Structure 1
Amino acid sequence: MKIQTARALPCSAALVAAGLLLTACGSSGSDSGQQAGNASFEGRGPITFVAGKDSTGVVQAALDRWNELHPEEKVTFVQLPTDADSQRQQMIQNAETKSDAYTVLSLDVVWTSEFAAHQWIDRLPENRFPLQKMLRPVVETAKYRGNLYAAPGSSDGGMLYYRTDLLKKAGITEPPATWSEMTADCARVKKLPEAGDMSCYAGQFQKYEGLTVNFAEAVHSAGGQVADADGKPDVDTPEARKGLDFLAGSVEDGTIPKEAITYQEEDGRQAFEAGKLIFHRNWPYVYSLAQKSKVAGKFAVAPLPGLNGPGSSSLGGHNLALSSFAKNKATALDFMKFFSSEDSASTFLKDASLAPPYADLYDDASLVEQYPYLPVLKESILRAVPRPRVVQYGDVTSAIQREAYAALAGGKSSAQALKDLQAALQKSAAQ
């Protein structure tokens, strides 16, 4: 099995990349009517929506709007744990038992291939969703072998949050574009009396999916790659080592505080909002929450820094997929259209800073005036590099987390961690 990146592959290449003949390659997915592939979208009645914990409150608000309009087809929100690994595990367990308890799944964009290949989710009719109005990289995350298996619900791009008030007071007029600039800016800011006890930078470094994201960003932002153009593992390189060296070296010298190797998204957000961090890598949802915190009006966002210039984000976001084992699929398809609509995306943007899949919203002057981070976010998404899209994604991300964490925690050198990671990915590819 080769690692398949998010670029489109022809049918034969996709079969090679997946290494498994799990589903036959079909048409482009431009089905009309009520069927796509072998799925039959019939039945109306109550359904469930399954996603990670909603820290913003916007999901339940959207479900309330739907339920008020559809009292006979109500949607119940099944909230899973915050961390992505636990979400994926519970969704897979439900699918493996062929349970109908889960109807519409909120999938991390990198899970589409895995869930589609195992036939845990249905192929969808493309004409039910306005894909032509969405950003192309976002739409590609919802496809497997050229067919649509999910509806893009939200996108995501990592951004650098930084304290504008402290940088200005330290005489710094622009956010850092490189890692070395960020380190130098930190040193200047920490000379201020009010910043002496602050830490420089944090991302998501606990041993979970967030570490896979942050590791991949560091590697790509140093000119490296996890896989080459042919989809083969290619992470044991000098460029990748520079990326991992930045992370591991920053923990060692204190640029990244030691406690940050326990951080998930919410831990870092809370630390930034509490005034403990000068710079912080996180997703756009943090923006609206931080505006209600003690740092309101004192921060802005910029592209992630890299080795020699602006870095590359991992492409994030969530897609809506329909469980193959669910009941009331006609209701489910209508709900997916409602939840992924441009109106819903606009509401999620305004109320929770969730990155919309629709291109027009990023260019709306009134929205940009209200949400000045939108141009940065759009560029982050368009420049983003996807994590490996593979059928055996669990094996790949577990290997990345294990080796990257060993380097950050000081258990291995970057060179040894990447050598061991290369071997693990090659072993997975050979299976």
Structure 2
Amino acid sequence: MKTKTTRALQGSAILATAGLLLSACGSSGGTDSGEQAGSTSFQGRGPITYVAGKDATGVVPKVIARWNALHPKEKVSFVQLPTDADSQRQQMIQNAETKSDAYTVLSLDVVWTSEFAAHQWIDRLPEQQFPLAKMLKPVVETARYRGGLYAAPASSDGGMLYYRTDLLKKAGITRPPVTWAEMTDDCAKVRKLPEAKDMSCYAGQLQKYEGLTVNFAEAVNSAGGTVTDAGGKPDVDTPEARAGLDFLAGAVKDGTIPREAVTYQEEEGRQAFQAGKLVFQRNWPYMYALAEKSKLAGKFAVAPLPGLNGPGSSSLGGHNLALSSFAKNKATALDFMKFFSSETSASTFLKDASLAPPYANLYDDPSLVKQYPYLPVLKQSILRAVPRPRVVSYGDVTSAIQQEAYAALTGSKSSAQALKDLQSDLQKSTAQ
């Protein structure tokens, strides 16, 4: 989210030949591309900016440095925004509302595409220049708005359940949980072990920010409910949605989820898991590479998110590249977008930062699966994922979800009352 950001927010230097990289990103010559998508003319070459959330891995600057070495007259500067997705979105909107050319290529949470396109803050792209047929269909759909391509898929994301293989094995548990009830039972068994008596069971991202929208939507969808239908109509005042929110709120109340988890974003949850404070943790794939470098290396694995009666559904995460309508040097920007979203780049981001690639074939490559055993789980997570509400007024919608879900988690409202109020709020937001 990354979205999440959170979802996170990246990979290492491109380990390919200069010729391959140049073919992936297009010509770097001095002439304008002259390509058009809608009324956009992609003209102008020179320096541009790449704008994204803070890079916790330190890898994105290396990728940009590789581009800059190959394109000395068209250098890219990395503008790092705050870690949390809400702040990123707000700063990008402020830049657009002032029609500033300070931001060129934007790294958008996949759910922002409709909002930015509807307000004409980003340009429609020439989709024939991007290898969309090689990408997972749910990922490509996040980049479209009203039949047009307004972003280039750069990474996807699906939530997974991280769990302590060593502790489950020692407690006599032979497989990861499939349902919430199984997860709770497994925790009780694990916590009987001397080394696990001070551990908590489970945590996700429950602070009042975009991660809470993601975790709330996953709980609702994993209980058979929905937040909004395909047309954006809200439908959260239902028994199914209540079962999902009851799971989260009840787990905080009874200690299955530690109370401090209502302050967790992605990094706080990852750090708690790696510090041995949690048996299970919901997080994005970026965490895998970092956990493998920690003291838990070889002591954890991933599984699909559990649900009420069976496997749950992740919220669809990831980031798309969009071109600011107010930017200069759009020919350079288009080439950089093709470079940054190429299969070569996606493969590198996967290998060096556990970022989920948009390209389908990378999930089925035997050599990659051997090296990254979570890939089959991640692919299923993405294919089973449910998008967050794809509405133009997304800022109002996610704010309302965070407000009411947090009220239920902290006990200031019942789940039933929170969902009733949320239904009313969403009806007002989506009617605008």
Q: What is the TM-score with the length of structure 2 in the denominator?
A: 0.92
Q: Which amino acid aligns with 1:320?
A: L
In the alignment, which residue of structure 2 is the partner of 1:325? 326
Confirm whether residue 282 of structure 1 aligns to residue 259 of structure 2.
no
Give the partner amino acid of 2:59: V
Q: 2:178 touches 2:311 (CA, 8 Å); kept in 1? A: yes
> Structure 1 residues 338, 75: closer, same or farther in 2, change over 3 A?
same
Instruction: Give the equivalent residue in structure 2 for 1:360.
Output: 361
Describe how 1:399-414 pairs up with structure 2 within 5 A: 399-414=400-415
Q: Which runs of 5+ in 2 are unaligned?
A: 1-32
Alignment of 1:341-380 (within 5 A): 341-380=342-381
Displacement of 1:132 = 0.4
State the partner residue of 1:185. Answer: 186
Question: Partner amino acid for 1:173?
Answer: T
**Partner SS state of residue 296, structure 1:** coil
- Look up the match of 1:214: 215
Aligned equivalents of 2:269, 2:282: Cα separation in 1: 8
Query: SS of the residue aligned with 2:309?
Result: coil
The alpha carbon displacement at 1:229 in A equals 5.0
TM-score by length of 1: 0.92
Aligned to 1:64: 65
For the residues of structure 2 that align with 1:221 and 1:330, how far apart are their CA atoms? 43
Quote the Cα distance in structure 2 between the aligned partners of 1:75 and 1:428. 37
**Deviation (angstroms), 1:230:** 4.6
1:271 matched to which residue of 2? 272
Instruction: Give CA-to-partner distance per residue, 1:41-71, whole Å, 9 cap, x none.
Output: 1111110000001111221111011011111
Equivalences for residues 160-239 of structure 1 within 5 A: 160-239=161-240
Q: Which residue of 2 aligns with 1:28?
A: none
* CA distance in structure 1 between the partners assigned to 2:231 and 2:391 by the alignment: 13
Specify whether residues 49 and 378 from structure 1 end up closer, same or farther in structure 2 by C-alpha distance, changes over 3 A only: same
What letter is aligned with 1:127?
A: Q
The letter of the residue matching 2:234 is P
Residue aligning to 2:307? 306
Q: For each residue in 1:241-284, what CA deviation from the matched residue of structure 2 results, as whole angstroms up to 9, or x when unmatched? A: 00000000000000000000000001001111111110000000
Counterpart secondary structure, 1:176: coil
- Name the residue aligned to 2:298: 297
Partner of 2:132: 131
Aligned-partner Cα distance in 2 for 1:382–1:409: 32
Aligned counterparts, 1:18-97, within 5 A: 34-97=35-98
Alignment-mate amino acid for residue 218 of structure 1: A
Q: Quick one: distance in 1 between partners of 2:294 and 2:271?
A: 9
Q: 1:33: Cα distance to partner?
A: 5.9
Q: How many residue pairs were aligned? A: 400
AA matched with 1:94: N
CA separation in 1, counterparts of 2:354 and 2:230? 33
Are the aligned partners of 2:404 and 2:418 in contact in 1 as well (CA < 8 Å)?
Answer: yes
SS in 2 for 1:411: coil
Q: Is the 8 A contact 2:34 2:43 kept in 1?
A: no
Q: Mean Cα displacement is larger for which, 219-228 or 302-311?
A: 219-228
- Per-residue Cα deviation, 1:72-114 (whole angstroms, up to 9, x for no partner): 1110000000000000000000000000000000000000000
Q: CA RMSD in A?
A: 0.9
Mapped contact 2:152–2:321 kept (Cα < 8 A): yes
1:144 is matched with: 145
- Residue 40 of structure 1 and its aligned partner are, at CA, apart by 1.0
Secondary structure, aligned partner of 2:282: strand
Shift of 1:231: 3.3
Q: Is the CA contact 2:232–2:391 (under 8 Å) kept in the aligned structure 1?
A: no
Tell me the residue number matched to 1:261.
262
Equivalent position SS for 1:49 = strand
SS of the aligned residue for 2:273 comes to helix
Could you tell me which residue of structure 2 aligns to residue 6 of structure 1? Answer: none
Q: After superposition, give the CA deviation of every residue in 1:207-243 in whole Å (9 maximum; x if it has no partner).
A: 0000000000000000000123553211000000000
Structure 1 CA distance for aligned equivalents of residues 229 and 152 of structure 2: 28
CA contact (8 A) 2:219 2:307 kept: yes
Which residue identity is paired with 1:354?
L
CA distance in 2, matches of 1:349, 1:110: 22
Distance 1:151 1:126 in 2: 8
Q: State the shift of 1:205 in Å.
A: 0.1
CA distance in 1, matches of 2:84, 2:322: 19
Offset at 1:427?
1.1
In 2: Cα distance, 1:419 partner to 1:56 partner? 41
Amino acid at match of 2:144: K
Secondary structure of the residue aligned to 1:308 is coil
Counterpart in the other structure of 2:20: none
Cα displacement string for residues 127-158 of structure 1 (whole angstroms, at most 9, x for unaligned residues):
11100000000000000001000000000000
**Which amino acid in structure 2 is aligned with residue 315 of structure 1?**
L
- State the alpha-carbon separation in 1 of the partners of residues 93 and 431 from structure 2: 23
**What CA distance in whole angstroms lies between the structure 1 residues aligned with 2:395 and 2:402?**
11
Amino acid in the other structure paired with 1:336: M
Question: For the residues of structure 2 that align with 1:389 and 1:369, how far apart are their CA atoms?
Answer: 35
Partner Cα separation in structure 2 for residue 330 and residue 263 of structure 1:
41
The answer for unaligned runs of 5 or more in structure 1 is 1-31
SS in 2 for 1:301: strand
Q: What's the % identity of the aligned pairs?
A: 86
CA distance in 1, matches of 2:329, 2:34: 17
